[in-house]
Structure 1
Amino acid sequence: MFLFCGRKCSRMKALYWEGDGFVLLYKRLESGSFQWPRTQDEVLKISTQEFRWLLEGLSINQPKAVRKIAVKQVL
């Protein structure tokens, strides 16, 4: 899947290959903007969960979303 965003960052297009053709998805936020990279160094490969956050207009950096498990003892 390839994601594209315009200058306003309130609209996003996704191009997805289904095997026999492309699917074009379009999303426009009523208020706010997508957290979008501005330079080549900021481009990321994102997970499915991060993609859902992005579509909801949230930041893909959610440090408290996944709880880290501390191992106390290894058997």
Structure 2
Amino acid sequence: MIPDLSNANIYIVCGHTDLRKGVDGLAILVTEEYKMGVFDNALFIFCGTRKDRFKALYWNKSVFLLLYKCFENGYMQWPRDRSEIRRLNYRQMSRLVNGLAIEERRTIRPIIPRHVY
């Protein structure tokens, strides 16, 4: 039942969202506050005040899917600017929902070979 999201438009609603909202409440939030279409092959991800859980809303051409995930250990690194929706690619979304930072930080620097004479 999990949709293939590799070609979907993926958005995170930054800031806090009331996660008590269901499908209708989240769809109204997207259409009225952000002026976006919920039927446009888009996945919208919402986070509440606690960063250890999120909800996602997706229209699969016949019904809405409301996905919910709660981390037992750890939390997400969630942008808190409430006034924006941020677009993600599939890889960034995968990192976010697995508890990693959206942007990969390079910790390994490439080795620059030195000429030894």
TM-score, length-normalised on structure 2?
0.50
Alignment length, in residue pairs? 64
Structure 1, unaligned runs of 5 or more: 65-75
CA RMSD, aligned part only?
1.6
1:24-69, Cα deviation, whole Å (9 max, x unpaired): 11111111111111114674210001111111000011044xxxxx
Identity %: 41
Cα contact 1:15–1:22 (8 A) shared by 2: yes
Amino acid at match of 1:5: C
Bigger-Rg structure (1/2): 2
Residue equivalent to 1:23: 65
Equivalent in the alignment of 1:2: 44
Evaluate the alpha carbon distance shift between residue 19 and residue 42 of structure 1 in structure 2; reply closer, same or farther with a 3 A threshold. Answer: closer
C-alpha separation between the residues in 2 aligned to 1:48 and 1:38? Answer: 20
Q: Which has the higher contact order (CA 8 A, sep 6+)?
A: 2
Q: Quote the Cα distance in structure 2 between the aligned partners of 1:18 and 1:42.
A: 24
Give the distance between the partners of 1:27 and 1:40, measured in 2 at CA: 21
Gaps of 5+ in 2: 1-42, 107-117
What's the TM-score, normalizing by structure 1? 0.75
